[in-house]
Amino acid sequence: MSSPSDWVARDLAHVWHPCTQMKDHETVPMIPLRSGSGVWLEDHTGKRYLDGISSWWVNLFGHANPRINAAVVEQLGRLEHAIFAGFTHEPAITLAEELVRLAPAGLNRCFFADNGSAAIEVAVKMSFHYWRNRGRPRKTRFITLSNSYHGETLGALAVGNVELYKSIYRPLLMDVITVPSPDAFGRETGASEADHARRMFTHMEAALEQNHGEVAAVIVEPLVQCAGGMRMYDPVYLQLLREACDRFDVQLIADEIAVGFGRTGTMFACEQARIRPDYLCLSKGLTGGYLPLSVVLTTDTVYDAFYDEYTKLNAFLHSHSYTGNALACAAANATLAIFREEPVLERNRTLAARMAASVEHLREHPHVAEIRQRGMILAIELMKDVANRTPWPFSERRGLRIYRLALDRGALIRPLGTTVYFMPPYVIEPDEIDALARVATEGIESACA
Ligand SMILES: *Cc1c(COP(=O)(O)O)cnc(C)c1O
């Protein structure tokens, strides 16, 4: 057994980390964790970090949550995992029932997968296949919004639009129709977010009008484009989109992988537009941040288009080895039980107000171009020149300075470029929000200097 102080060297000898230029670790510290509790992560020296981004947006009720721990341990003693074709188990059945109860009415069918990108692949394939089964084989294309993000596997990457992750792989990707995002950051001064969303919708309307004969579905992240820099837009866009999709006979895929489970103030972001998508993709917070699991909810209409004699070969022959993993389902059921039994959304309203108040002093900062918020997501957009909307050159890596300073001060804040954001677990305390804001302020001061 080596001492924890060797962990970094052992890690760097063999482990290749996600979304990382590994050479950065010649100067940026790699932090070996030994434990987590609530909003805190603890490293091998005992130093603690306030997890301000819910460990990449997955954690809802804290690390080592006693209730979720107990549920996973209990399930572990019964059944860890089993093939999910031809077999089922109580955790998956209960989870499907509960998801159907929570989701917009009419999403009665749950298809499980094991991560967010896989859920997007499922929705994309299902929509394409739905139209084939319905005798409309020309409907093969997808419409997406600029600056959208739907994951890293090739299909998910193709329907996403964050250049940093996508451009290099373009030769491998299917062609999609990209429509300008309703992102409210782009609105003219004086225009309301709703007016801006309505105006931007004309692009979507035109794309649907022109291409609907060959479009299977439109895919969107409802209300917040998270990986695209926490850019936000008005719910009226989703209302117009639902109405137009119905009019043009095109399906709607809502990717709530990041915004689902209370993040934007309602259980699902779609609720704020009072719409029901044809596919609702969920992952991340689904298991409270414990285990990989995802699900695509869809309608009986879609399900029925696949329900046929086997020999017609209309079935959805898609699977992942860990589909419906029992431990992950148990963690998800415990997570949803917390939503049922505690006033989570109500408490989040108070926490969200505290988040807003904690950064109020930054509104007048010369490099703060915007502070925006939807529920438990708050973003501070920094720019070199606010008046002219000039960003800093990406090569200056000013966001990294904030990340490093925050780590030093005991907080995990990981800016997207120079957009600093808070997306904490829902068990954060008001004074911890203030502490996070103090660290962010210090980081912003230092990065803008
Ligand atoms: C994270 C994310 C995904 C991909 O999920 P993974 O589990 O990381 O594959 C897809 N869509 C959105 C909106 C996400 O934020």
What is the whole-number distance in angstroms between the Cα of residue 254 and the centre of ligand 1?
A: 12
CA of 152 to the centre of ligand 1 (A): 8
| Residues across the chain | 449
CATH number of 69-341: 3.40.640.10
Q: What are the residues whose beta carbons fall under 8 Å from the beta carbon of 320, sequence distance 6 or more?
A: 113, 114, 118
Q: Are 377 and 263 in contact (CB under 8 A)?
A: yes
| Nearest CA residue ID for atom 5, ligand 1 | 116
Write down the residue that tokens 């780590």 correspond to. Answer: 407
Sequence ranges of the domains in the chain: 31-64+344-447, 69-341
CATH no. of 31-64+344-447: 3.90.1150.10
Give, for ligand 1, the residue of 264, 280, 284, 291 to mutate: max count of ligand atoms closer than 8 Å to Cβ: 284
Which ligand 1 atom minimizes the distance to the CA of 284? Answer: 7
The pick from 144, 149, 294, 296 for probing ligand 1's pocket by mutation, whose C-beta has the most ligand atoms within 8 angstroms, reads 149
Residue 239's pLDDT is: 98
Q: Which residues of 28-58 are buried (b: 16+ CB within 10 A; e: fewer)?
A: eeeeeeeebebbbbebbeeebbbbbbbbebb
Q: Which residues line ligand 1 (CB under 6 A)?
A: 115-117, 120, 149-151, 221, 226-227, 255, 257-258, 283-284
Atom 11 in ligand 1: which residue has the minimum CA distance?
A: 150
CA dist., res. 59 & res. 424, Å (int): 8
Mutate which of 59, 112, 115, 117 to test ligand 1's pocket (most atoms within 8 Å of Cβ)? 117
Q: Do domains 31-64+344-447 and 69-341 have the same CATH topology?
A: no
> What was the pLDDT predicted at 2?
59
User: What is the best residue among 121, 150, 256 to mutate for testing ligand 1's pocket, by most ligand atoms within 8 Å of CB?
Assistant: 150
Q: Would you say the pTM of this structure is higher than 0.85?
A: yes
- Which atom of ligand 1 lies closest to the CA of 118? 9
User: Ligand 1 centroid to 388 CA: how many Å?
Assistant: 32
> What does the alpha-carbon distance between residue 52 and residue 436 come to, in Å, rounded to a whole number?
7
Q: Whose CA is nearest to atom 12 of ligand 1?
A: 150
What distance in angstroms lies between residue 121's CA and the mean position of ligand 1's atoms? Answer: 11
Residue 156 CA to ligand 1 center (angstroms) comes to: 9
Q: What is the pLDDT along the chain (449 residues), one digit of tens a residue?
A: 557 779 999 999 999 999 999 999 999 999 999 999 999 999 999 999 999 999 999 999 999 999 999 999 999 999 999 999 999 999 999 999 999 999 999 999 999 999 999 999 999 999 999 999 999 999 999 999 999 999 999 999 999 999 999 999 999 999 999 999 999 999 998 999 999 999 999 999 999 999 999 999 999 999 999 999 999 999 999 999 999 999 999 999 999 999 999 999 999 999 999 999 999 999 999 999 999 999 999 999 999 999 999 999 999 999 999 999 999 999 999 999 999 999 999 999 999 999 999 999 999 999 999 999 999 999 999 999 999 999 999 999 999 999 999 999 999 999 999 999 999 999 999 999 999 999 999 999 999 99
Q: Give residue 163 CA to ligand 1 midpoint distance, Å.
A: 16
Name the nearest CA neighbour of 230 among 118, 395, 40, 376: 376
Report the nearest-CA residue for atom 15 of ligand 1.
258
Task: Report the C-alpha gap between 214 and 446 in whole angstroms.
Answer: 51
Q: Whose CA is nearest to atom 7 of ligand 1?
A: 116
Tell me the CA–centroid distance for residue 7 and ligand 1, in Å. 29
Structure tokens at 410: 């005991």
Closest CA to 420 of 443, 438, 397, 404: 443
For residue 239, the CA-to-ligand 1 centroid distance in Å is 23
Give the pLDDT of residue 3.
72
Q: Residues 152, 119: contact at Cβ < 8 Å?
A: no
Strands, E, within 160-265: which ranges? 177-179, 215-220, 224-225, 231-232, 251-255
CA 120–ligand 1 middle distance (angstroms) = 8
List Cα–Cα distances, 285 to 259, 291, 382, in angstroms. 9, 10, 28
Closest by CA to 116, choosing from 232, 262, 285, is 285
What DSSP state is assigned to residue 19? T
